[in-house]
């Protein structure tokens, strides 16, 4: 299922800060949420393969991965571009274009409602400009680690960003 296309929007919708032009925001239903009571929304780390080689080296604890954080049926991720504006974007969960979905990892729960999560992401987006992306020190996995820790108190598994950690 693709996000609704309006005025040329594709399946990737950049997350824009409130002080700039507002974007439409669509909450996609997620059946997994039903298992949890009010005030305890699940947070997932969605992990993607960047290369087909991951299929061979994953079991040895190696690989090159992209990741995004899913909460309230929206996946948030961080990517590079040449501008001094946010590199945080949102996609339909487990559907990040250009990457092969590998697995979803339950990270814990958050008590933030959808509006609070959106406000939280808008605030975090100001710290993740596309022109500050760095494969070793500030990549999509660093973003997800920061977001997951702030939402759930848990860090992402070390294997997700192992290659960057080796490079430090």
Token pair, residue 158, equals 């070390």
The active-site residue out of 66, 72, 96, 142 is 66
How far apart CA 14 and CA 77 sit, in angstroms, is 10
| Triad 60, 66, 69: Cα angle to 5° | 115
- CA 65 to chain CA centroid, Å, is 12
Asked about 140 being catalytic, the answer comes back as yes
The active-site residue out of 96, 140, 144, 148 is 140
List 86's β-bridge partners, or say none: 129
Asked about 142 being catalytic, the answer comes back as no
Catalytic residue IDs: 66, 140
């Amino acid at each position: 299922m693709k996000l609704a296309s309006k005025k040329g929007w594709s399946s990737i919708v950049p997350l824009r800060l409130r002080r700039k032009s507002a974007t439409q925001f669509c909450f996609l239903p997620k059946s997994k949420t039903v298992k949890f009571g009010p005030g305890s929304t699940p947070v997932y780390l969605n992990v993607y393969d960047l290369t087909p080689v991951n299929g061979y080296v994953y079991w040895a604890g190696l690989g090159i991965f992209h990741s995004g954080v899913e909460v309230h049926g929206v996946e948030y991720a961080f990517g590079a571009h040449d501008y001094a504006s946010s590199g945080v974007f949102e996609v339909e969960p487990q559907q990040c274009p250009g990457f092969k979905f590998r697995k979803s990892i339950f990270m814990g729960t958050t008590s933030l409602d959808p509006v609070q999560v959106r406000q939280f992401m808008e605030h975090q987006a100001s710290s993740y400009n596309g022109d500050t992306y760095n494969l070793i020190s500030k990549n999509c996995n660093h973003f997800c680690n920061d977001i997951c820790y702030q939402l759930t108190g848990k860090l992402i598994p070390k294997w997700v960003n192992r290659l960057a950690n080796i490079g430090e």
